């Protein structure tokens, strides 16, 4: 009885040892297609904006790219590890800058590739002689009927690297990257060693255009024109004998390269393309609006001239340049006065102009 128990225990141990052994898995084939990028995220949806407060290193826009390598594996020897490797292989100017970017076709704007590393951290794609392992996993047995995949989350980011004129980023002159899917044991497998040409992801960037912009100091300006008498308008189509009022439109935090332009629209008569701002027809405090009058806006200073109105964003609506920023500021000095346009009827003589700021 004692000996039988000994042999049974030994037999059970032997069976457990045999059952724990696993067959090696070897990759037999793989594919590595060029991924489709996600949308660019950043800016206001139509432009990427740089102001005076945008320091170098700022991420203007980012888009995600999921890289997928697929493979088939079967019983074989030795065990394979599936890897996605990659690196910058060249760039305009050579090495990556301090922000991990290569220069784009726009001065002061760089492109950075980053990825979610094996450790879970987001790391910058290196510029190195040899490619580095970006993602890896032990090959799993699939047989001949199905595929398994290795996933890598990557990102492209547009970074401010210095003063920039802005514009449309279209590519990276002289810059290139290399990505590869491979199966590795003691060496790289001949059955899975596939490169993918990601150049279309660098020449077809197509992000929103980059604009050097300002911030509007005051979004609404109220100009008190005071009270007038009918006798202040002796001449038809002439200005009042009393002086009008000066006011200023200010833009602040302007990028050094900002070149703002402004156009004006008559809020009460949006198709008005004249040089006279109409009187708002709405009654005020029970009193009907004045008739026989209009408002005129004129520039004050070196660029004297009467403002012409037009539909918002209209191709024929005049644009008025505001000049280059000084200490991050630009301003437009204006003068408002009344013009007699017909028989005058007393009443509130309010006008409302809307202005649209645009940038080249």
What the block records as the tokens of 226 is 């005071």
DSSP label at residue 73: E
What the block records as the tokens of 245 is 């009022």
Q: How far is CA 250 from CA 33, 60, 334, in A?
A: 52, 25, 11
Half-sphere exposure of 293 (CA within 13 A, CB side): 27
pTM over 0.95: no
DSSP label at residue 187: S
Beta carbons of 247 and 221 less than 8 angstroms apart: yes
Q: What is the pLDDT of residues 166-215, one digit of tens each?
A: 999 999 988 889 999 999 988 999 999 999 988 889 888 999 999 999 99
Domains 23-211 and 215-358 share a fold: yes
DSSP label at residue 6: H
CATH superfamily of 215-358: Fimbrial-type adhesion domain (2.60.40.1090)
Q: What is the pLDDT of residues 298-348, one digit of tens each?
A: 999 766 699 999 998 887 889 999 989 999 999 999 999 999 999 999 999
Q: Which fold has domain 23-211?
A: Immunoglobulin-like (2.60.40)
Mean pLDDT split into 10-residue runs, the chain, 360 residues: 36 37 78 95 90 96 97 83 92 77 95 94 91 94 86 97 94 89 92 91 91 88 95 96 94 94 95 96 84 96 84 86 92 96 95 92
CB atoms within 10 A of CB 330: 23
> Strands 25-31 and 122-124, how do they pair?
unpaired
User: Helical H runs in the chain?
Assistant: 2-19, 200-203
Task: Give me the residue spans of the domains in the chain.
Answer: 23-211, 215-358
């Amino acid at each position: 009885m004692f000996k039988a128990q000994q042999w049974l225990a030994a037999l059970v141990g032997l069976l457990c040892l045999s059952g724990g052994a696993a067959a090696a898995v070897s990759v037999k084939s793989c594919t590595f297609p060029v991924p489709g990028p996600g949308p660019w995220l950043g800016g206001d949806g139509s432009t990427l904006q740089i102001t005076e407060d945008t320091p170098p290193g700022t991420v203007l826009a980012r888009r995600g790219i999921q890289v997928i390598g697929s493979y088939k594996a079967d019983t074989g020897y030795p065990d394979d590890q599936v890897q996605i490797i990659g690196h910058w292989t060249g760039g305009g100017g050579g090495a990556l800058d301090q922000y991990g970017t290569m220069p784009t076709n726009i001065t002061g704007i760089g492109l950075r590739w980053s990825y979610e590393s094996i450790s879970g951290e987001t790391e910058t794609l290196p510029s190195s002689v040899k490619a580095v392992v970006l993602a890896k996993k032990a090959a799993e047995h699939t047989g001949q009927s199905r595929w398994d995949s290795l996933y890598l989350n990557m990102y492209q980011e547009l970074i401010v690297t210095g003063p920039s004129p802005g514009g449309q980023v279209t590519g990276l002159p002289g810059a290139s990257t290399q990505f590869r899917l491979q199966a590795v044991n003691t060496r790289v497998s001949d059955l899975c060693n596939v490169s993918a040409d990601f150049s279309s992801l660098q020449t077809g960037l197509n992000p929103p255009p980059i604009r050097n912009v300002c911030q509007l100091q005051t979004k609404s300006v109220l100009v008190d024109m005071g009270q007038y008498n009918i006798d202040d308008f002796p001449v038809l189509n002439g200005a009042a004998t009393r002086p009008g009022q000066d006011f200023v439109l200010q833009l602040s935090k302007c990028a050094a390269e900002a070149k703002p332009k402004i156009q004006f629209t008559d809020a009460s008569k949006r198709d008005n393309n004249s040089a006279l701002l109409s009187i708002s027809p709405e009654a005020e405090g029970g009193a009907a609006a004045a008739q026989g009058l209009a408002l005129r806006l004129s520039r004050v200073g070196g660029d004297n001239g009467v403002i012409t109105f037009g539909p918002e964003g209209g191709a024929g609506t005049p644009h008025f340049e505001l000049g280059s920023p000084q200490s991050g500021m630009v301003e437009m000095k204006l003068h408002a006065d009344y013009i007699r346009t017909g028989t005058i009827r007393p009443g509130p003589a309010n006008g409302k102009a809307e202005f649209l700021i645009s940038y080249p």
